[in-house]
Structure 1
Amino acid sequence: MNPKAVRAWLLYDWANSAFATTMIAAVLPIFYLEVAAGELEPNRAASYWGFTQTAAMLLVAVAAPVLGAIADYAGKKAFFLRFFTWLGVLSSLLFVFVGQGDYLAASFLFILGAVGFTGGNSFYDALLPEIEPDPGKRDYLSSKGYAYGYIGGGLLLILDLAFIQAPGLFGLPDGLAGTHLAFASVGLWWFLFSIPLFRHFRNDQDAAPLKIGQYAAVGFSRAWTTLKRLPRYPELLKYLLAYWFFNDGINTIITMATSYGKTIGIGTQHLIIALVITQFVGIPFTLLFGRIAERLGSKPSLYLSLGIYLLIVVLGYFMTSAIHFYILAGMVGFAQGGSQAIARSLFSRLIPAGQTAEFYGFLSVSSKFSSMVGPAVFGLVGLLTGSVRFAILTLALFFIAGMLLLRRVDLEKGAREAAA
């Protein structure tokens, strides 16, 4: 294992997490509502942002099997990692030209950025076996990359908050200029901290070139083959159904929380501070939740985290002030990392040995398709009722359905099915 290559790999998570925090969760949703779609009625603007998320997830879900096949068979990991990184970087930089009423341009650029972010992660993840030859040590290295992402994305978010709330300190005329600088900072941060990884992986392996249609055929064939095999593992299938519901609820909260808060009157500064709280609370509480799981067991701990999310949705319906948003942000930070870690751990117990790559690949693709539903439902309910409060309350159905389906999963029986 090359220590420099390891540091370079970790820094890429530090780099691209800027897009996750600033563009997906914090600054861009507010900018979309206030500026890009500022001429629209607030509930309609929030719904359009939800539809933008759905479109991005649809495109990413369709592309995911193809990208996975390319990563596995093309021998062009470094080339495609650069390509998708530059796509994400460029889309972030181009946001400096988006102004009042340009919501279509903002939606288009966000979708491009989401494809760059997800595509880059596909090839970044595919480098892990080359970074760490020992399979037994990859889990720890992967977790370390996740921690780097939390810290890097959180630090840039704090800097972006300074740009927006104190533009005069940076020689900027107003907060809008500070917001544009925040978008540019995402592109620059992502690019600069990706350079070490690009330097270590300049050359790709020689491989027989295939046409994009051939990669698509391989990718979708693998996903279809896995889908046909699922009936052999009834408990795994039941768990996947539960996972698709509660994971969609979690992802919708992440992508829509800021736009929801803005629509009901929470100030921009309070929204971004709350997201910084979530970012840094998540680091220690993810580790703490792991200890809770050791004492209570994985399934009860997952119920606990999903119960917290259900409470967040219900309290969110009644939320009226910034302090309420701060409290809910802390609750999300407590539950988010723990729920994701436990859900991933439970899945690993239900899949057959020697087929982890196949089933995790299917989980990645299928969860992206399911993640389209939550934002779409949020946007549709917001349009039909004229109230984002009813839209956020509908997310409770995702968590209730997920928890009810999870109750039907027999983990011990599922483990025996996987072993057989």
Structure 2
Amino acid sequence: MSRVVPPGPQADLAARRHEQRGWYVYDWANSAYVTTVGTVLVGPYLTAVATAAACPDLPAGAACEGTVDLLGFIAVSPNSLVAFLISISTVVIAVLLPFVGAVADRSPRRRVLLARLAWAGAACAAGLFLVTGDDWALGATLLVLGNAFLAASLTVYDAVLVDIATPDERDAVSSRGWALGYLGGFLLLVVNLGLVLGADALGVPDGLAVRLSLLSAAVWWAGFTVVPYLRLRDRPPTHVVGADEAGRGLLGVARGSVRQLVATFREARRYPQTLLFLGAYVLFNDGVQTVIAVSSIYGSVELGFATEQLIVAIVVVQLVAFGGALAFGRLARRLGAKRTILVSLAVWTVVVAAAFVLPEGRFGLFVALAAGIGLVLGGTQALSRSLFSQLVPFGKQAEYFSLYQAAERGTSWFGTFTFGVVQQATGSFRLSILAVVVFFVVGGLLLTRVDVRRGIADAGNEAPRVV
């Protein structure tokens, strides 16, 4: 088969399936970094390393009152370091991604760009193995860069969905990708948690067990990225500004990409339904990210669960999310992506309301809520991606998905900020978690106002049979 094919999905079903199977594997690949590194291990480990730097002679069990100098002039507590790093990552990503999208839309070799960004991120993750003692600055730098490369690669990856799936296939293809990602993240996380929790029995120092787990996520991410790199096909760019500059070296590509980006921002007003959906997504996705971010705090502080119990809940979420993404993909075939997302937002609202009244210490009920989160987590994210792909003009997928990723990550502090403000004002974690319902309700109301058929027509795309 030729490496280069015409723009858009291939007409041959077998050829499309070949590319789609390769595309799924990138979700499987990068989810190892998201779960093992970003969600579970790197936060506590970097906090411990920063504490060693701030308070080198700290007695066991004592609180560290020292600080580390972030960026050379910001004194931060070791316990706050990771939160600040996430904020810095958010700013870097929000600025970087629109340019990545403009370059990707002009590139005739997106699979190569995707792989290079992924391998750069995996190299940063592998570098975390070298973070020992009090070398928190190296870990901080690698974490910010790893997060940025991940977001950049996902911008390219999401845009490829339009190249490999017809409008009628996208909900199912996107859902399968998310499902496989949750399964991959779950499997490696279970192995790594076994290593970390059983380090003493295995005769492995605790720090080394964490570092080996971080390294395993990097190897997993880099190794499985080879599959989409080999299976995806190259396509010539279409509908780009300054295409004549593409062959004029790096400077020409950069200049043309900036011109493309400016033109896209000017033209965005022609797609009001796309922008309305993006606004709705920012709100309800902020609710999703907030629940993910604060659930462990809520479980430990308000409900009194031990760390081991919270780990069990995380594993349950990952496992159930695999089936949930597939189930919601099937539901979308009947209801359409928009209606199915609205169903998921209703479930999110019920889950958060149930968490508000959950009695302290009822671990079985807490696990049931974790299963409820897993059920709708993958479906909400997968169908949002596929629905947005229907609303973006062909030839500018990566640029619009860069806005999608930047909006998701650049505004993801609204919900956690609201949670913190309510907790500080009321002293109640329960009222704080209840406040998150607003993001699902308002985001859902905005989504009901999105005219999907009109948005698809405005973008010049073919509508799926069920909208």
Match of 1:179 among 210, 214, 227: 210
Aligned residue number for residue 118 of structure 2:
85
Q: Cα–Cα, structure 1 residues 240 and 142, in superposed 2: closer, same or farther, change >3 Å?
A: closer
Q: Cα–Cα, structure 1 residues 217 and 260, in superposed 2: closer, same or farther, change >3 Å?
A: farther
- 3-state SS in 2 of match to 1:286: helix
Whole-angstrom CA distance in 1 between matches of 2:151 and 2:203: 34
What does the per-residue CA deviation read over 1:93-130, in whole Å, with 9 as the maximum and x for residues that have no partner?
23334468776655443221111212223344556677
Deviates more, 1:160-169 or 1:382-391: 382-391
- 3-state SS in 2 of match to 1:172: coil
Whole-angstrom CA distance in 1 between matches of 2:342 and 2:148: 32
The answer to whether structure 1 residue 250 and structure 2 residue 288 are counterparts is yes
Match of 1:146 among 178, 188, 207: 178
Match of 1:15 among 16, 20, 29: 29
Q: Cα–Cα, structure 1 residues 103 and 346, in superposed 2: closer, same or farther, change >3 Å?
A: same
Letter in structure 2 aligned against 1:145? G
CA contact (8 A) 1:18 1:190 kept: yes
The answer to whether structure 1 residue 224 and structure 2 residue 265 are counterparts is yes
Give 1:54 deviation, angstroms.
3.2
Whole-angstrom CA distance in 2 between matches of 1:200 and 1:307: 38
Task: State the TM-score, normalized to the length of structure 2.
Answer: 0.71
Mark the runs of 5 or more structure 1 residues left unpaired by the alignment. none
CA contact (8 A) 1:9 1:197 kept: yes
- 3-state SS in 1 of match to 2:249: coil
Whole-angstrom CA distance in 2 between matches of 1:386 and 1:20: 31
CA contact (8 A) 1:74 1:208 kept: no
- 3-state SS in 2 of match to 1:81: helix
Give 1:173 deviation, angstroms.
3.0
Letter in structure 2 aligned against 1:328? L
CA contact (8 A) 2:175 2:379 kept: no
Task: State the TM-score, normalized to the length of structure 1.
Answer: 0.78
What does the per-residue CA deviation read over 1:376-410, in whole Å, with 9 as the maximum and x for residues that have no partner?
44466667777765654442332232234345445
Q: Cα–Cα, structure 1 residues 380 and 29, in superposed 2: closer, same or farther, change >3 Å?
A: farther
CA contact (8 A) 1:50 1:378 kept: no
- 3-state SS in 1 of match to 2:190: helix
Aligned residue number for residue 326 of structure 1:
367
Letter in structure 1 aligned against 2:216? S
Give 1:78 deviation, angstroms.
5.3
What does the per-residue CA deviation read over 1:168-197, in whole Å, with 9 as the maximum and x for residues that have no partner?
4543133x4322221121112122223445
Deviates more, 1:80-89 or 1:183-192: 80-89
Letter in structure 2 aligned against 1:59? V
Whole-angstrom CA distance in 2 between matches of 1:359 and 1:188: 30
Deviates more, 1:183-192 or 1:162-171: 162-171
CA contact (8 A) 1:30 1:259 kept: no
Aligned residue number for residue 120 of structure 1:
153
CA contact (8 A) 2:176 2:325 kept: no
Aligned residue number for residue 103 of structure 2:
70
CA contact (8 A) 2:118 2:150 kept: yes
Aligned residue number for residue 56 of structure 2:
none
Give 1:227 deviation, angstroms.
3.1
User: What percentage of residue pairs aligned between the two structures are identical?
Assistant: 31
Match of 2:38 among 8, 21, 24: 24
CA contact (8 A) 1:30 1:258 kept: no
Q: Cα–Cα, structure 1 residues 224 and 77, in superposed 2: closer, same or farther, change >3 Å?
A: same
What does the per-residue CA deviation read over 1:280-302, in whole Å, with 9 as the maximum and x for residues that have no partner?
21222233334555666765543
Whole-angstrom CA distance in 1 between matches of 2:460 and 2:260: 26
Give 1:67 deviation, angstroms.
0.9
- 3-state SS in 2 of match to 1:266: coil
Aligned residue number for residue 10 of structure 2:
none
Aligned residue number for residue 349 of structure 2:
310
The residue correspondences of 1:94-105 to structure 2 (distance < 5 A) are: 94-98=127-131
What does the per-residue CA deviation read over 1:194-241, in whole Å, with 9 as the maximum and x for residues that have no partner?
3445567899999432337525514531441243324xx3x5544433
- 3-state SS in 1 of match to 2:305: coil
What does the per-residue CA deviation read over 1:239-285, in whole Å, with 9 as the maximum and x for residues that have no partner?
43322211111123234434554555533332222222112212222
- 3-state SS in 2 of match to 1:70: helix
Structure possessing the higher radius of gyration over alpha carbons: 2
Q: Cα–Cα, structure 1 residues 189 and 418, in superposed 2: closer, same or farther, change >3 Å?
A: closer
Cα RMSD of the aligned pairs, angstroms, is 4.2
Give 1:308 deviation, angstroms.
2.5
Q: Cα–Cα, structure 1 residues 21 and 249, in superposed 2: closer, same or farther, change >3 Å?
A: same
Whole-angstrom CA distance in 2 between matches of 1:184 and 1:258: 24
Whole-angstrom CA distance in 2 between matches of 1:347 and 1:134: 14
Q: Cα–Cα, structure 1 residues 114 and 284, in superposed 2: closer, same or farther, change >3 Å?
A: same
The residue correspondences of 1:197-276 to structure 2 (distance < 5 A) are: 197-198=228-229, 207-211=247-251, 213-214=254-255, 217-218=258-259, 220-230=261-271, 233=272, 235-258=273-296, 260-262=298-300, 265-276=304-315
Q: Cα–Cα, structure 1 residues 406 and 160, in superposed 2: closer, same or farther, change >3 Å?
A: same
CA contact (8 A) 2:50 2:78 kept: no
Deviates more, 1:30-39 or 1:285-294: 30-39
Whole-angstrom CA distance in 2 between matches of 1:141 and 1:78: 18
CA contact (8 A) 2:324 2:375 kept: yes
Give 1:160 deviation, angstroms.
0.9
Give 1:20 deviation, angstroms.
1.5
What does the per-residue CA deviation read over 1:6-34, in whole Å, with 9 as the maximum and x for residues that have no partner?
65544333221101111232333444566
